[in-house]
Every structure is written in C-alpha cells, then in structure tokens.
Chain A
Amino acid sequence: MNMALGSRGGWWPALCVGTAVTIVAVYLLLVASNWIYLGWHDTLYFFSKSRMWERFWLTVWTSTVSTSFSLLIGIPSGYALSRFRFPCHHLVASVIDLPIVVSPAVVGAFLFGVTTRFPFDWISEYYGVYIGRNVYGVLLVQFTVTAAFCARLMKASFDMIPTRFESVSRSLGASPMRTFFKVVLPMAKNGIIASMIVVWARAAAEWEGLMLFVGATEGKTDIMPFAIYLDWNGGMMGWVTSMSIVCILMAVSAITAMRMIGGRSNVW
C-alpha cells in the first residue's frame, strides 16, 4: 500500500526523490572535486606547510574578534527587533539587512568610501588607528557583514521563545533587565551559541569586501578565502585547492557543531 510507484500518482514522489538524489550527488561532487583534483599525497604536502597554517590562524583570530564585536551589538539589537514594535519596523529591518543582502563586493566599495569620512578620519587622526589597508580593515569588513547577520539570527532565536515567560517574570516583580538576563538569555542560550558558531563561520568566509577595501598584504590581511583568490591569480592551483579544502572543512565542522548543539541553520 505504501509503495510509492505502485499507487496512483506515484510518479510524483518518485520524481521528487529522484531529483533530490541527483541534486545531492551533484553538490557532493562539487564539494569533493578539490580532493579528487589534488589527491591524497599533495593534500598532505600542502597541509604540512607553515604558510597554510599562518593563514589559518589569521582567519581564526580575525573572525573570532569580529564575531565577538558582532555579538555585542547583535544580541541586544536582535532582541529589540524581535520584541519591540515601532513605526516602519519593516523599513528599519530592511536597512539593517542591507549589508548582507547586496553583493559583498559592493559593501567593500561602500566601506572604501566611508572610511575617509567623519568617524573614521577622526579616529585615525586622534588615536592613530588607521582603518584601511591593514588588519583593522579586515575586522571592519567582517564586522559590517556579520553584525547584520548576527542581529538577524538573534532575532530568530528570540522569536522562538514565547513572550509568556517574560510576562510572568515581569508580573512577579522582576525588572526588565533582570528578566532579560535571568529568563530570556538562559532560555535562548542554545540558540545564541548555535548562532554564534554560524556567525563565526560567516565571518571566516567573508572576503569580497577585502578585495576592494583592504587589498592584499602577504601574511597580514590575506585571510584564507582571500588568499584563495590571490593564489588563483598567481596560478598556484595546489595552494588554491588545498586552502579550499581547509575552508570547506571549517564550514562543515562549524555547521556540524551547530547542529549538535541543536540550532537550525534556516531560521524560518
């Protein structure tokens, strides 16, 4: 009775499953193509080089720093977007989303324009911190993209918690701050940690903005996805494919960790 092909209209589930299996096979081939190209021996050779691991640690620490800044901004603004109702909140949410919705190369061009202006020129003049063609530029690009991303994920995490618990806590006499720290944050803890991992992986994947805004300094600003582009221009296919393998492993392990914690990547 439950045989898919036996019953009437059974072509439809067969078509669906067939499409799904084909698509998954194509995507698996796409992700695995670097290993197939490079082979086991060359993979080990490139993985034993220090140039690879310098870039890896640069990627890890820049994305960790920018993720912590994004979390600092993103958690409260995600809560505000989730709970407060104010006029034109669709418009405000759209403007906040703009850096992740437009092409990241465009964001790089806009950052290039904005860092010669008011707060940034002031910072470089009075504090001597130049934000541009150095690692601060990398952090700014990653922050710009991941802050919006983080606010969006946090909004989704807070949306999943019923407002009832807050109402109960407030009616029992707790202040709003106390409610937020003692009720909302502990309930959203898993969602926040899962989102944190996704935000970190997204920060480590950001490179398009660097192309126009920061540029390449060997060993200083070439985080791994950007180094892939630079080495590809240099024709070093071995480095390119081995670094792609590292990036794929980073993304896959981040998503696996997120799923083990129990978060969801799609926040619908």
Chain B
Amino acid sequence: MSGKRKRRRIFHAVFYSFAGFLFLYSAYLFLSNLDQLFVTEAAIQTREITSWGDDREVLNQFGGGFWKDPYFWKSLNLTVVITLITTLIASMLGIPTAYAISRYRIPGMSVVEILFSSLIVMPGSVIGICLIVMFNYGPLWKLQNALGFRFAHSIFPGMVIASLVLSFALGLSAWKAAFDSVNPRFEHVARSLGSSRWRAFRTVTFPLAKGGIIAGIILAWTRAMAEFSAVLFFCGTFHELPASRFSDFTRLLQMDQADWVSVAVWAQVEFGNIEYAFALAFVLVLIGGMSVYVMHRIGAKGYVW
C-alpha cells in the first residue's frame, strides 16, 4: 500500500514540476524586470548623448516619470478607446456571423474555417503587409483618392482596422463555439410554438449562449490590446508628428501625438528610454493578466492565441 502511495507521489511530483517550471519561468520573466523601472547612473550618462525631446530631466525619475508625461496618458486613452471601439464592431459583426456559421449550411464552410483558424497562426507582420497592400494599391487606393481620405497611417479608421483583423477572428471562434454548445432543438421548439426566427434567437438561443458570448467579448478585447505588428505596419507611430497634423476632434479626445501602447514600448526601447518602456510594458502586463484571470474565473475553458 505504501509503495503505491509513493509511486503516486512521484507521479504527482513529476507532473507538478513541469507545470511549476512554466509557472516560475513566466513569473521570473515578468517580475525580475521590475528593477528596470529604477534609473541607474549609467542610464543617465548615456541618455545625455542619445536624448530626444525637450524635457530630459523627467526621464531620470522612476519609470521615466511616466505618470507626469501626457504622452503616457494619451497613449493609454487612445489604446483603450480604440480597442473598445474594435470590440464593439467585432461583436456587432461577429455574433451574427458566428450564428450563421454555426446554424446554416453555407457551401465552402471548411474553407471558411481553415481561413479563420489560419489567421490565428499567421505572423502579425504578414497581416500588416496584407492590410497595407490591400488598402494602398489597386481599387481601394483609387477609392481613397476619390474620397480624399486615407485608411493607412490614420488613428480612427486605421487603428481600428488593424486591431480588428485578429480580434474578430479570435472572437468569432469563441462565439461560434458558444452557439455550437446550444442545442438547436430549443430554437425549433420555440419556432413551432409560434415565435419568429428573430424572437427565437433573442429569447432562447442568446440567453443560453450568454456566458460564451461574454467570454468571447473579453477575448476579443484582450486580443485587440495585445495587437502589435498589424498596428505597427498599418499605422506606425504618431508621437513625432507635428500637432497640426491632427484634427480638432482627435485633440479634443486627447489622442493626438500618442501611440498604440505596445508600439510605444518598442519605440521607447529604440529611443533608449528603457525605464519608460518598461513602465508601459508593465501596464500592458497588468491589463493582460487581469483580463486572462477574469477569463479563467468565468470558466472560458480555452482559447488559441
């Protein structure tokens, strides 16, 4: 009996140690970099040479003095507002699409599933290049010229489009799974009792699929927050542009001369402001960690990134 218990304990220890390795690796990766927020004397010395901008004293504080910098707050504002708009558009388009894919026989369905699944494992740089090529050449480019209006390198349509591509694909898989898990029989019963199709959806299927739909919305938002390469390729950075390039509306919303947060991390590392970059990065880690914790708590069983 004791031999069995010992073997069981060894078994548990082996499997726990692999999971524990991953846990410790991830925790070490993120927590050990907390000291990057503190400015060292060497960083101050090098910054004198490679400095940019006017106020270099602010950068020599903890985390590059990020809480005093309007750029930080504007970037955060920009990213959160644009991701919320993206999530809204993705759910408005994605929930009917997921319902159609889940319920109706559309020819070529396997092609559609392969398309949306492969978007998830496609490199972000390819998505960005596809967007650039799609909007900056050919008929869409002529259309933009006729309208006097640009999709690429703009805040409002540009960033929304760039973050929408993958956010929609991720959300769609979640919503489709949510509708797949609801038995179509209930809907048929509601229909046979005299409901219209819309009413059957609204009063029967939608409440039953609600948990999965909410999980999909959180998933779409998290993916939009994690977007990097599509925004980098399609929109670029806005911090260096003159204030006159931004419209009054953008300035009113406090979004002028601000960047997508993860693009800002990259830009600040390239500029040499490591402390500032890590302050932005820790904000992203906090947001991502909280949303994934919520997803685990509400029992969103799995997702593919």
Most chain B Cβ neighbours within 10 Å, of A23, A79, A256: A23
Residues of chain B within 8 A of A138, CB atoms compared: none
**How many Å lie between the Cα of A251 and that of B106 in the bound state?**
24
Residues of chain A within 8 A of B32, CB atoms compared: 113-114, 117
State whether A104 touches B293 (Cβ < 8 A): no
Residues of chain B within 8 A of A159, CB atoms compared: 301-302
Residues of chain A within 8 A of B120, CB atoms compared: 265
Rounded to whole Å, the gap between the CB of A94 and the closest CB of chain B is 4
Residues of chain A within 8 A of B26, CB atoms compared: 95-96, 98-99, 148
A138-182: CB near B (< 8 Å → 1, else 0) gives 000000100111011101100100000000000000011100100
Interface residues of B in 61-102 (CB under 8 A from A): 93, 96-97, 99-101
Most chain B Cβ neighbours within 10 Å, of A92, A106, A111, A225: A106
- Number of residues on chain A facing chain B (CB within 8 A): 104
**How many Å lie between the Cα of A149 and that of B302 in the bound state?**
11
B contacts with A: majority SS: helix
Decide if B144 is an interface residue (CB 8 Å cutoff).
no
- Number of residues on chain B facing chain A (CB within 8 A): 100
Decide if A84 is an interface residue (CB 8 Å cutoff).
yes
State whether B222 touches A101 (Cβ < 8 A): yes
The closest CB in chain A to the CB of B268 belongs to: A109
Rounded to whole Å, the gap between the CB of A197 and the closest CB of chain B is 9
Rounded to whole Å, the gap between the CB of B23 and the closest CB of chain A is 5
The closest CB in chain B to the CB of A29 belongs to: B134
- Known contacts: A247-B122, A268-B303. The answer to whether A80 contacts B19 by CB under 8 A is yes
Residues of B whose CB lies within 8 Å of any CB of A are 4, 7-8, 11-12, 14-16, 18-19, 21-23, 25-30, 32-33, 36, 93, 96-97, 99-101, 103-104, 106, 110, 112-126, 129-131, 133-134, 137-138, 165, 168, 173-174, 176-178, 181, 195-201, 212, 222, 225-229, 233, 262-263, 265-266, 269, 277-278, 281, 284-285, 288-289, 291-293, 296-297, 300-305
Could you write out 14 A-B pairs with CB less than 8 Å apart?
A23-B93, A34-B129, A77-B15, A104-B228, A109-B265, A113-B278, A114-B32, A204-B123, A229-B229, A247-B122, A248-B122, A252-B118, A259-B114, A268-B173
